[in-house]
């Protein structure tokens, strides 16, 4: 079990993103940030999760919050996924697992009876000062984006 990150400062990071952008945490100061880690582009659960965050995106922006989806997929895969789904937020490529390791989301999982190392679906809310205010690990997709929005709206 990974120790909680709630209450801790997030070290500055830079990550390649869709739309030919590079996202740097310090550039987000003044906005809260939702980082949601998901296993893989174009899979049913990840598609559903992205759709839910997209559906609530205007309300997140109204709450002064940016959303970023993070997986180990490359930028080309992310661009295709984002375009296909019409996501209004950027996807961060973490091929070297820098962010996955920083947030402790890599786990051994069972897939069809085989042990595989992959991302545990997790979400983190980082406040305007760069402090983790809430984390969800082992996320179940239905209703999750709405729950995160409720938390952000109450901050």
Reported as a pLDDT band with limits 50, 70 and 90, residue 2 is: low
What are the extents of the domains in the chain? 14-18+29-154
Looking at the predicted structure, is the pLDDT value of residue 37 above 90?
yes
Mark whether 65 is an active-site residue: no
Q: How far, CA to CA in Å, does 154 sit from each of 48, 137, 144? A: 24, 20, 16
For residue 91, which of 106, 81, 102 has the smallest C-alpha distance?
81
What pTM value is reported for the model? 0.93
Q: What is the pLDDT of residues 120-135, one digit of tens each?
A: 999 999 999 999 999 9
Q: Given 32, 46, 65, 100, which residue is catalytic? A: 46
53, with CB counted inside 10 A (0-12, 13-18, 19+), is buried
Q: Which CATH class is domain 14-18+29-154?
A: alpha beta
């Amino acid at each position: 079990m990974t120790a909680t990150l709630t209450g801790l400062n997030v070290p500055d990071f830079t990550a390649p993103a869709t739309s030919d952008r590079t996202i740097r945490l310090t550039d987000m100061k003044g906005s809260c940030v939702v980082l949601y880690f998901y296993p893989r582009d174009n899979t049913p659960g990840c598609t559903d999760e992205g759709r839910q965050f997209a559906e609530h995106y205007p309300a997140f922006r109204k709450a002064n919050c940016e959303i970023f989806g993070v997986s180990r997929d490359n930028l080309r895969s992310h661009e295709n996924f984002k375009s296909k789904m019409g996501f209004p937020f950027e996807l961060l490529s973490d091929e070297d697992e820098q962010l996955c390791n920083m947030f402790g989301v890599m786990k051994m999982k069972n897939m069809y009876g085989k042990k595989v190392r992959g991302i545990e679906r997790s979400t983190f809310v980082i406040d305007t000062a760069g402090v983790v205010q809430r984390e969800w690990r082992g996320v179940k997709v239905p209703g999750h984006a709405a729950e995160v929005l409720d938390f952000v709206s109450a901050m």
